[in-house]
Amino acid sequence: MPYSSHPIINIALVGGSELCKEILEKTTLYFKQQGVQDTPILAVADPDTQSPGMLFAKNKGLITLTDYHELYDISYNIRLIIILNTDPKILEDILKTRPPRIRILSNQVFEIFWKVINYEGRKLREQNTAMETILNGIQDFISVITPDMTIVDANESLLKGIGRSGNEVIGRKCYEVLQKNSSACTSNGMLCPLNEVIRTKRPVNQVRTHIDRKNKIRHIDVNIYPVWEKSGKIAKFIQISRDITKHMEEQEEITKRLEKMVEERTCQLKETHEKLIHKDKMASLGKLSASVVHEINNPIAGILNLIILIKRMIQEKPVVEKDMDEIARYLDLMEKETRRTSRIVSYLLAFSRQNKMELKPLNLGKLIDQTLFLNSNLIKINNVKIQNKLDPDLPDIIGSEDQLQQVIMNLISNAVESMESKEKGVITVETKHYPKKGSILATFKDTGIGIPKENLTKIFEPFFTTKKQGKGVGLGLSLAYGIIQEHGGSINVNSKEGKGTTFKIDLPIKR
């Protein structure tokens, strides 16, 4: 390529000193970094062919002349001569002999510009050195990565952390150095953080795994920050990473300890809970035993007294017909008390529910209808009217027919007895199906005397009754409550004294 075609004016240096060599080195490096192969300095002139500048110029393929007058040759097309030689006679001679097309920059003027340039360069180098010192002092891993995933810089912490030298890292792909992969990496389904920055156009944070020099997995907290060009493109990425392996191991250890503590505490609470339940059971058993003794002791004591009385009558005098009437009355009382004792025992056996329930599909509406029929005589005698609101399309439930019938019978008999003092009573029996809830609601409502508010919380307790002596033992509702519970349902009561009582039984269709 002819010299005149170069877009920058052609320059020649006169004097091959160390300064000449320094100028050639820096200009050559600068233009090479800019992607320009040819520099504007074409020639060097010095009588000493072994001077540093002449040797460097010759090595780079530049024109080297021993006589600076040859620079005037039109074929070289030199436009500027920079005089590096400090001899004033050379400056005077060139001023007199140079062609008008060639301009001159004297040694004194050039030195001023060169010193200023070097001063700025030195300041920049000092700043770079200071910045490099700061970065190397940071324990976090810092690297500069180009958009094509090439590492162009890395601090000492990163090099030390991965056990590699700068030459082994700079210029290589980040995934080759950090992941030992031959292609862009993924970790636990996460995309490459650099690609994520490009996609989201904002900094990205990920916890990734790296493989250290001992082939051990390390957990790294990675932060990628983009550096933007004026055109809007990403010029480079700044990656700041931190090894959190130890932190994660500590967190895992803490989690294990906490789980163990929770497990131990749960065991302690379970043990305490079981002790409290046992204590409560024993207290309930004691209360139940006392109630049983009291309820059974009364009729037995009555029977015993009557037996003693009959024996005394027989022993004191011969039994006559008149005495037989009195003995018969005593026997009736004994039979009544014996049956009462038997009823108490039967309720207790049912209450204990030792026998296994026989579960089968049954229709609750039909079971209620059947129970009402069995109690029709009791209902008729007490002048009670039944309002039947049973749903004919109820689905079947799974349950024990005998036990559920016992519950229904108990509720009906209780309702009838609560209306004995009234001329006319009404029992409303209603069933409803709730498909969304998957249950059937059975309601038994009477117009009886009601239950006092203070007794509502006690009616399901064993041996609690508001009936007159001999009318009941207080186990019917407690037994009903247990049966409904075993069927996975619930039984609730609502009552107002003097206005009647409503029992609601909610039973699931499927168990």
Query: pLDDT tens-digit profile of 54-93?
Result: 999 999 889 999 999 999 999 999 999 999 988 989 989 9
Tell me: do 374 and 295 sit in the same domain: no
Which one-letter DSSP state was computed for residue 10? Answer: -
Residue 432 has pLDDT above 90, yes or no: yes
Q: Which two tokens stand for residue 309?
A: 């009385």
Are residues 393 and 476 both part of a single domain? yes
Instruction: Give me the pLDDT at residue 450, please.
Output: 87
Q: Per-residue pLDDT averaged across 194-209, rounded?
A: 81
Q: Which residue would you say has higher pLDDT here, 250 or 282?
A: 250
Q: Is residue 482 situated within a structural domain?
A: yes
SS3 for 142?
Answer: strand
If asked whether residues 487 and 451 sit together in one domain, one would say yes
> Is pLDDT of 182 > 90?
no
pLDDT cut 90: percent of the chain above it: 19
**Beta pairing, strands 204-211 & 80-83:** unpaired
Helix, strand, coil tally for the chain in percent (to 5): 50, 20, 30
Could you tell me which residue, 297 or 384, shows the higher pLDDT?
A: 384
Strands (DSSP E) along 435-499, which ranges? 439-446, 490-496
214 and 154 belong to one structural domain: yes
**485, two tokens:** 């519970």
CATH, residue 233: 3.30.450.20
Residues 97 and 225 in one domain: no
Tell me what pLDDT residue 3 has: 39
| pTM score above 0.85 | no
- The answer to whether residue 309 is domain-embedded is yes
Q: In terms of domains, do 31 and 99 share one?
A: yes
Q: Please state which of the ranges 92-106, 125-139, 288-302, 326-340 shows the lowest mean pLDDT.
A: 125-139
255 in the same domain as 227: no
In a domain, residue 120? The reply is no
Per-residue pLDDT tens for 31-58?
Answer: 776 666 677 889 999 999 999 999 999 9
The amino acid at 498: G
Range of 314's domain?
A: 250-352
H/E segment holding residue 284? helix 245-316
Is residue 90 domain-shared with residue 159, that is, in the same domain? no
> Is 123 within the bounds of a domain?
no
Domain end among 329, 352, 375? 352
Q: Indicate the helix (H) or strand (E) that contains 136.
A: helix 107-137
Give me the pLDDT at residue 4, please.
40
| 217, 243, 269 - which closes a domain | 243
pLDDT tens track for 263-284: 988 888 888 887 787 676 666 5
Which structure tokens are listed for 90?
A: 């050379």
- Do residue 416 and residue 348 come from a single domain? no
Domains: count for the chain: 4
More confident residue, 195 or 120: 195
Domain boundary among 55, 84, 105: 105
Mean pLDDT of the chain: 80
> Can you give the CATH number for the domain in which 73 is found?
3.40.50.720
In a domain, 121, yes or no: no
pLDDT reading at 473 higher than 70: no
Q: Which amino acid is at 273?
A: H
- Residue 169's pLDDT is what? 80
pLDDT category at 223 given cuts 50, 70, 90 is confident
Within a domain: 158: yes
The arithmetic mean of pLDDT across residues 382-400, rounded, is 89
- Decide: residue 37, CB within 10 A, 0-12 exposed, 13-18 middle, 19+ buried: exposed
pLDDT at residue 310 in the model = 82
Residue 98 has pLDDT above 70, yes or no: yes
Do 366 and 472 lie in one domain? The reply is: yes
Euclidean distance between CA atoms 308 and 16, whole angstroms: 150
Amino acid 52: pLDDT: 92
Please tell me which of 69-83, 122-136, 147-161, 274-288 the model is most confident about, judged by mean pLDDT.
69-83
CATH label of the domain that carries residue 389:
3.30.565.10
Choice among 91-95, 181-185, 487-491 with the minimum mean pLDDT: 181-185
- pLDDT tens for 328-358 read 888 888 887 787 777 667 666 665 554 566 7
State the DSSP string of 358-380.
Answer: --EEE-HHHHHHHHHHHTHHHHH
Would you say residue 112 lies in a domain? no
pLDDT surpassing 80 at residue 210: no
pLDDT at 200: 80
Q: Say if residues 164 and 158 touch (Cβ distance below 8 Å).
A: no
Tell me, yes or no, whether 47 and 79 share the same domain. yes
Structure confidence at residue 6 (pLDDT): 44
- Any domain includes 133: no
What is the per-residue pLDDT for 278? 64
pLDDT at 285 over 70: no
Same domain for 90 and 223, yes or no, is: no
In terms of Cα–Cα distance, which of 400, 485, 502, 490 is closest to 440?
490
